[in-house]
Amino acid sequence: MQTLQVDLGERSYPILIGEQLIDGDFLSRHIRGKQVAIVTNETVAPLYLERLTRHLQSFSVTPIVLPDGEAYKNWQTLQLIFDGLLAARHDRRTTVVALGGGVVGDMAGYAAASYQRGVDFIQVPTTLLSQVDSSVGGKTGINHPLGKNMIGAFYQPQAVLIDTATLTTLPARELSAGLAEVIKYGLICDEPFLGWLEANMERLLALDPQALTEAIHRSCAAKAAVVAADERESGIRATLNLGHTFGHAIETHQGYGAWLHGEAVSAGTVMALEMSQQLGWIQQADRDRGVRLLQRAGLPVVPPAGMSAEDFLQHMAVDKKVINGQLRLVLLKALGEAVVTSDFSRDVLESTLNADYNALTPSPNA
C-alpha cells in the first residue's frame, strides 16, 4: 500500500492506494463517530457494498443507493441522500462515505458539506477517473440545467481510499475515460510521465496492477501538489481543467451522460492542443503526440459531428472560468507546462472551433 498526503493545514488528509483496501480496517480507522452513511449507486452496490459494510460492524450503517449516471447528478438525487440521513436520524457527528465513481463522490461530498452545515466525509472511489481526479481535492457539487457543476462546495474529505482491484469490474470505456485525466497530468506538469505512459499504455489497458498503482500514484501526487498550492482555484489549480472548458461545452450540448466526462475531456484536450499549436506555443509534433496518446487510450479525439462553433461559444459563455465576461482557457506553453490565459484572439478561438479534427487525427496505424 502506498500513502500520499494532501497538505492543507488543519484540513490535511491521506490518500491510501493499494489492492483490496475495501477489506480490512482501512475505512473504520478514519471514522470518528458511531454513525456511517454509505452513499453508492445501483451498479456499484451489488459489487462492493456488502464487502465494505462487513468491516463496519461496530457502527450504525445506513446504505443510500442512488440511480447510476451523470444524468442523476442533480438536486432530486441529492435529496435522496438527505432523506436517507434524516430518516435514520444521523446527527452532526455522522460520517458520509462515497463508494463509487465521480458522480457518487461529488454528490456525497456536497451532501456531507451541506448536511447540518457539514459532517465528516470519506472517499472510496471505484473508477479510474474518480481515483485520479475527482476524489482528491475537495471539489463537490451537482449540475444545473444551465450548467455543469454550477452548485457545490469546496469540502475536503477525512481520507481517500483507492482500491485498485475495483478497476477489474470497470467497463473498458470507463477505464479509457479515466486515462484522459491521467494523460492530462503529463500534459500540464509532468512531461516525463508522458514518456512513461507511451511505454506502458498497453499494461494499463490490461489492468496490470503495478502499472495502475504507478499511474494512480503519480496522478494523485500531481493533483495533491496543485491543490495544496491553490485549494480554492484562484490560480494554478485551474490548469487541472485542461480540455475541460471545451469538454464541458460538449457534455452540456450532448446532454449529460451521452459522452462520459473523460471522453469529453479527451476531445476538449485535443482542441486545447490544436489551439496551443495555432498560437505557436507548441509544435505540431507535440500536438500529435498528445492526440496519439489519447487515441491509444481508446478515447475520442474529435468533437461531436453535429456541434458547431456557435454551439461551443454559447455553452462556454457560462463556464466558471469566465471572469468579468472574458474567456480564460487552459492552454500549453509546452508539453508539461500549462497556463490559464485569455491571451488569444477571437480569431484563433474560432479557427480552433472550426478546425477539421478528423483531418488532424493520425491514422491508428501511423
Segment contacting its own copies by CB under 8 A, of 63-71, 160-168, 274-282, 312-320: 312-320
CA gap 73, 134 in Å, rounded:
14
363 sits near its own copies (criterion: CB under 8 A): no
Identify the CA nearest to 354 among candidates 281, 318, 303, 292. 303
Does 237 qualify as catalytic in the annotation?
A: yes
Residues 9-48 that bind its own copies (CB under 8 A): 33-34
Sequence-distant (≥ 6) Cβ neighbours of residue 116 within 8 angstroms: 91, 92
What count of other Cβ atoms lies within 10 Å of the Cβ of residue 138?
21
Candidate residues 150, 225, 279, 360; the one interacting with its own copies per rule CB under 8 A = 150
Does 217 qualify as catalytic in the annotation?
A: no
Least separation in angstroms between residue 95's CB and its own copies is 13
Candidate residues 59, 82, 196, 357; the one interacting with its own copies per rule CB under 8 A = 82
Does 184 qualify as catalytic in the annotation?
A: no
Q: Is 106 labeled as ligand-binding?
A: yes
210 sits near its own copies (criterion: CB under 8 A): no
Bridge partners (DSSP) of residue 41 are: 66
DSSP 273-290: HHHHHHTTSS-HHHHHHH
Least separation in angstroms between residue 9's CB and its own copies is 12
Task: Tell me, residue by residue from 104 to 133, as one string, x for binding to its own copies by CB under 8 A and - for no binding.
Answer: ---------xxxxxx---------------
Nearest-Å Rg of the Cα atoms of the chain is 20
Does 248 qualify as catalytic in the annotation?
A: yes
> Is the separation of the CB atoms in 294 and 361 below 8 Å?
no
Segment contacting its own copies by CB under 8 A, of 143-151, 162-170, 263-271, 351-359: 143-151
Residue tagged active-site, from 30, 184, 218, 223: 223
Residues 318-337 that bind its own copies (CB under 8 A): 318, 320, 322-325
Residues 245-304 that bind its own copies (CB under 8 A): none
CA gap 291, 275 in Å, rounded:
13
CA gap 332, 339 in Å, rounded:
6
Name the grid cell of 299: 478515447
Least separation in angstroms between residue 89's CB and its own copies is 6
Straight-line distance from the first to the last Cα atom of the chain, in angstroms, rounded to the nearest whole number: 39
162 to 121, 128, 136, 228: CA distances (angstroms): 15, 9, 10, 19
Q: Is 23 labeled as ligand-binding?
A: no
What count of other Cβ atoms lies within 10 Å of the Cβ of residue 68?
18
Does 50 qualify as catalytic in the annotation?
A: no
Q: Active-site positions?
A: 117, 139, 181, 223, 233, 237, 241, 244, 248, 261
Residues in touch with its own copies (CB under 8 A): 33-34, 75, 79, 82-83, 86-87, 89, 91-93, 113-118, 139-141, 144, 146-147, 149-154, 232, 317-318, 320, 322-325
